Structure 1
């Protein structure tokens, strides 16, 4: 594994399409494909899945991306002494969100090299100056600038009795068995949806990742409430709207209020605000 391979991987991750990554790197598409294959062989893991709109990063790719960006940033810092006097802005991006929205944000940030700052992409657990996150995660001194909303939907096997209903409401979840991811949608949050029901919901299994949650649903362990981002690309289970329930995740920019109008923060914020998140 070398810096050139990492730069190719980053290009594919950020662009979301092999053709765009090839144009960005100034090479042919087969070259991009071969580099990704070599990288996958080195890691012993799959990095991308082919989809109708391009390539979709796997969980391993999400983890590698943040490490690769940091390695390449440090390498650039060593090779380009001019960076010593350039301000660094740390932008935090959660790894679990819609791949398409993820890539739009990353492409936009990558094009901001002309504003005279070094943009450092951070994992959500790392300190950052600006971050993309949920409104209920903001601190008292942070400003929330809304970008898009995501709905929670019911994920069930095709043969589940609920899937026979023309419309599913919270009252239909009375006594239904659920599988949950305690970190993102725990028993308390499900209880809010089913608070008017006579019987409490029953949690049959816990999952600590999106793939495991989907696998448990497929295997018939129970239903799951999952966001649009978590269900993106999922086709082998039934995905149903929950009528009469406004369960939303509000995503936006989180930034300390005093910094929002300052340069270069305002430039980064304005660039992200121009993204059309409604289109794929």
Structure 2
């Protein structure tokens, strides 16, 4: 049985949602839908009932779920059984700061499904590693970038800020507002450029290269700022809002060099995640 289809089924069964399953497996929603359809045809059963809010597993899915977990574990065990016992595979990943825990967890879960016994070494950003979890702008010239997620930037402010009462905020509403800048952030530079073209500007009252520190300044009422949506979710005393205008987002993914592909674990992870 196709390893990939089992991953898709387990993700849909646990998430009860095609979109969340696709995000978890790093594939498009049509890939998940087609994979489940293929699995249903292979098994000659209906595994999920579709409805507007998501999917519900059928009784056949309830039966197949524990079996699929067992099958996946067995496939991994058999694959590892014939590898030389004296060779322990290892994988190193360096991670840029300020990435959401949710997305990092999704990646680690998928690596564990593929290589449950691998020695995984997670390094600080900047240390040489087999893989780097970064935004596209940080890719080196000699690297390949595999996009996994797109995360929107949202306008963030203290809960008592005057803009918190405006339902539909436009870029023009930002004219003269006190703003916390993150100089490396392209969303910030894009905003400043758009306002400048309209003969408007922000009042820069603080800055930090670290988005977590920018968030702390926003929460304290020091000013407003654009920050990644998942980074600011459920933060006390901070309100986030969409702004009318061009979409601002960051593409998060894995970067790797041709040299890294000499590691068979890297090759397999990239191959499976790319599908």
**TM-score if structure 2 supplies the norm length?**
0.59
Partner of 1:249: helix, strand, or coil?
Answer: strand
Contact 1:187-1:203 at 8 Å conserved across structures: no
Q: In structure 1, how many angstroms separate the alpha carbons of the residues matched to 2:188 and 2:137?
A: 18
The equivalent of 2:110 in structure 1 is: 108
Shift of 1:246: 1.5
Q: In structure 2, how many angstroms separate the alpha carbons of the residues matched to 1:189 and 1:84?
A: 52
Query: Is 1:236 aligned to residue 237 of structure 2?
Result: yes
Q: In structure 2, how many angstroms separate the alpha carbons of the residues matched to 1:258 and 1:216?
A: 41
Shift of 1:114: 5.6
The equivalent of 2:222 in structure 1 is: 221
The equivalent of 2:156 in structure 1 is: 155
Please list the CA deviations of residues 198-221 of structure 1 after superposition, one character each: whole Å capped at 9, or x if unmatched. Answer: 232111123464454333223322
The equivalent of 1:201 in structure 2 is: 202
Q: In structure 2, how many angstroms separate the alpha carbons of the residues matched to 1:83 and 1:92?
A: 27
Which 10-residue stretch deviates more, 226-235 or 202-211? 202-211
Contact 1:109-1:119 at 8 Å conserved across structures: no
Shift of 1:165: 2.4
Shift of 1:239: 0.6
Shift of 1:257: 4.5
Partner of 2:264: helix, strand, or coil?
Answer: coil
The equivalent of 1:41 in structure 2 is: none
The equivalent of 1:89 in structure 2 is: 91
5+ residue gaps, structure 1, are: 1-81, 275-280
5+ residue gaps, structure 2, are: 1-83
Q: In structure 1, how many angstroms separate the alpha carbons of the residues matched to 2:238 and 2:131?
A: 36
Partner of 2:151: helix, strand, or coil?
Answer: strand
Contact 2:154-2:243 at 8 Å conserved across structures: yes
The equivalent of 1:36 in structure 2 is: none
CA-based RMSD? 3.0
Change in Cα spacing, 1:170 to 1:97, as seen in structure 2 (3 Å) is: same
Which 10-residue stretch deviates more, 235-244 or 209-218? 209-218
Which 10-residue stretch deviates more, 148-157 or 209-218? 209-218
Please list the CA deviations of residues 202-244 of structure 1 after superposition, one character each: whole Å capped at 9, or x if unmatched. Answer: 1112346445433322332211111123213214222100111
Contact 2:99-2:231 at 8 Å conserved across structures: yes
Which 10-residue stretch deviates more, 150-159 or 179-188? 179-188
**TM-score if structure 1 supplies the norm length?**
0.58
Query: Is 1:173 aligned to residue 170 of structure 2?
Result: no
Which 10-residue stretch deviates more, 257-266 or 86-95? 257-266
Change in Cα spacing, 1:143 to 1:223, as seen in structure 2 (3 Å) is: same
Q: In structure 1, how many angstroms separate the alpha carbons of the residues matched to 2:260 and 2:219?
A: 46
